Homo-oligomer: A and B are copies of this chain.
Amino acid sequence: MSTLVGGMMPHGHHHHNHHPGGGQQCAGDSLPPRFPYGRPDFLELTPELLQYSTEHASRPVLTLKRGSRLPWKTGYAEVINAGKSMLNEDQASCEKLFVKKPSGKHRNSTLLEDNGVSQVQDGTGIPMHFWGVFDGHAGSGAAIVASKLMHRLIRDRLGEICHLLENPNSAPPICLAKNGNPYQVDAKKGPSQESEDPDAVCDSTLRFHMEKTVSLESLVMGVIETAFKQMDDLIEKEKASYAISGGCCALAAIHLMGKLYVANAGDSRAIIIRNNEIIPMTNEFTPESERQRLQYLGFLRPELLGNEFTHIEFPRRIQHNELGKKMLYRDHTMTGWAYKTIVEDDLKFPLIYGEGKKARVMATIGVTRGLGDHELKVYNSNIYIKPFLSCVPQVKVYNLDENKHGPNDVLVMGTDGLWDVTTDREVADAVSAYLSCCDPSDPMRYSLAAQDVLMRSRGVLKERGWRLPNERLGSGDDITVFVVPEHGCP
C-alpha cells in the first residue's frame, strides 16, 4: 500500500513515513520472524528468482509457472512497488482444504501450539476453497502470518460447526449442549420433563416464545467474522515470541457448499465479472468511508485522542489567530457541513484529516480495517492507533450455484495498487476482452489475464517514471491480482 502509514503531523505539517525502508527490522528487533520473508509458495521461486523479484528498477511481473496449477485454474500475477519499501509487502494464498469435525486429539489445540496443522488432511470432509490477498504496511510481518494461517483458522472454525453444515436443510439450532451437539428435541413427543437428557428441555420449553431463525449462511458469515478477529488476536499473542512487523489489509474469498463468501477488511477490492457486467463484492474501509464510526469512538472515548486530536472534522487546519471566528465542521452525527465558532479545543489536530488517498487517521494511517498494527503509535507520542482500527471484515455472499457462468466470468481480487489507477469498468473490459481472445483450453489463460490487467496499472518505465499508455502515472505500489474463473468450480 502506497504511503499508507505516515502523512501530515499534528504539529506543523511535517511529513513522516514510518519505517521508510519497509521490511521487518522494526518490531521486536531481537526476536526471530514468525515466518521468513518470501513470496507465495505456489510461485515456486528459487532463491535467485526471489532476489530478482525485488528489483524496484525493473519491477518484474511474477506469475504461475506453466505447468503449475492452482485450484479452479486460478490465475495470479504480482509485482513489487517502485521503491517505497525494500520488500513486496503484499502477500497471497490460494488453498483447497477440507472442513471436518475436530478430532478428539486436536480438540483443544490451537493454531499456535500445533504450528497451524490442527487437522489431518486426508481428503475427507467438506471441500472449501480459499483465496486471500493481504496488503501489508510498515513491514511485511503481519501480511505473511495472515497468508500462512488465515485459511486454516477459518477451516478450523468451520470444523466446529461441521455437523450443522452436513445438514444444510435444517436451520442451525439456537442453543447447543456443552459438548457442542444440538439438543435432541423429539417433535412427536413434544416437550418432556422426563427426558433422560436434562438439556433436552432447553429449546422445547421456550418454543412458544419469540425466537429468531438464523440461516446457515449467516452462521458461516459469523464464522468468518470471528476468524478475522481470532487472526488479529493471534498476531498480537505471537508478538511476544516473534517479530511480526506492521499490519495488513485482508481480503479473502471462501467457497463453501455452492456459495462464495467475500470478506474484506481494508482497501483491497473484489469484483465479479459476469457477462461483462460488474458485481461489486467489497466496500473499501478508509478514514473517509469510516469517518463517522471513528469520530463516534473519539467522541465517546476522548482519552484515546490523547489531548492531541479532536474528533470534530474541519476542512483544513485552524490557525491560532482564528479563535472566535466561524469555521465549517462536521461531527460524528453529520453528513452535511455547518459553521461553528472556533474555540481552543478546535485547534487540536483533526482525528480524520486529508482527502482521498491522502486521508489519514490521526495523521498516521490511511486504512481503517485490517490485521496487526498493535504497536502502531502516532509519531512522537504515546497515542495508539489500534483502538480506531477494526479487524472485522464486511462479508458479502454470492450464490455461485444459482447463477450460470461462462468461461470468461471471473472473480477479480486485487490490492489497491491495481484499483488506484484502473477503474472497475476498465478492469472488467480488459479481462473480458483478453479472455475472449484467448484459447479457452489454455490452462494459463487466467494467469495471462491477471498479468495483462496488472500491466495496465503498473505501466512501463519512462524517463519520468512508470507511465500508462495515456501518459498518466502508473501505480508505484505493490500490486497483487487473482483472476478466479467461476464456471470451473466443482
Contacts and interface: CB of A to CB of B under 8 A. Distances in A.
Nearest to A172: B328
A395 B206 contact: no
24 contacts: A13-B209, A174-B316, A175-B328, A177-B326, A178-B325, A178-B326, A180-B326, A199-B325, A202-B319, A206-B316, A206-B319, A211-B315, A212-B315, A213-B315, A214-B328, A214-B337, A218-B335, A222-B330, A222-B336, A223-B338, A296-B296, A300-B300, A333-B392, A335-B394
A192 B325 CA distance: 19
Contacts of A438: none
A157 to B, nearest CB: 8
Interface string A349-387: 000011100100000000000000000000000000000
A430 interface: no
A314 B338 CA distance: 40
Contacts of A326: 175-178, 180
Nearest to A224: B336
A327 interface: yes
Contacts of A52: none
A337 B325 CA distance: 49
A173 B8 CA distance: 23
Interface string A136-157: 0000000000000000000000
A223 to B, nearest CB: 6
A454 B451 CA distance: 60
A67 B258 CA distance: 63
Contact of A316 (B209, B226, B358): B209
Interface residues on A, range: 35 or more
Contacts of A321: 198, 201-202
Interface of A: 8, 13, 160-161, 172, 174-178, 180, 198-199, 201-202, 205-206, 209-214, 217-226, 229, 296-297, 300-301, 314-317, 319, 321-322, 324-328, 330, 333-339, 353-355, 358, 390, 392, 394-395
B226 A324 contact: no
Nearest to A180: B326
Contact of A225 (B161, B178, B327, B333): B333
A431 B343 CA distance: 52
A176 B327 contact: yes
A176 B324 CA distance: 10
The quantity of this chain's copies bound in the complex is: 2
A433 B1 CA distance: 55
B300 A174 contact: no
A315 B315 CA distance: 43
Contacts of A225: 333-336, 338
Contacts of A202: 319, 321-322, 325
Nearest to A299: B300
A161 B326 CA distance: 12
Q: Which 6 residue pairs across A and B have the least CB separation, nearest first? A: A221-B336, A222-B336, A212-B315, A222-B338, A176-B326, A333-B392
Given A209-B316, A212-B315, A175 B218 contact: no
B339 A161 contact: yes
A212 B316 contact: yes
B395 A358 contact: no
Contacts of A211: 315-316
Name, among A220, A334, A336, the residue most crowded by chain B CB atoms within 10 Å (CB to CB): A336
A135 B260 CA distance: 42
Contacts of A177: 325-326
B8 A210 contact: yes
A317 B209 contact: yes
Given A176-B326, A210-B317, 4 more contacts: A212-B316, A221-B337, A222-B334, A225-B336
A324 B178 contact: yes
A202 to B, nearest CB: 6
A98 B353 CA distance: 37
A325 B222 contact: no
A457 B211 CA distance: 28
B358 A210 contact: yes
Contact of A223 (B327, B335, B336): B336
Contacts of A198: 321
A20 B327 CA distance: 47
A316 to B, nearest CB: 4
A154 to B, nearest CB: 12
A335 B221 contact: yes
Nearest to A261: B336
A219 B394 contact: no
Contact of A174 (B8, B174, B324, B327): B327
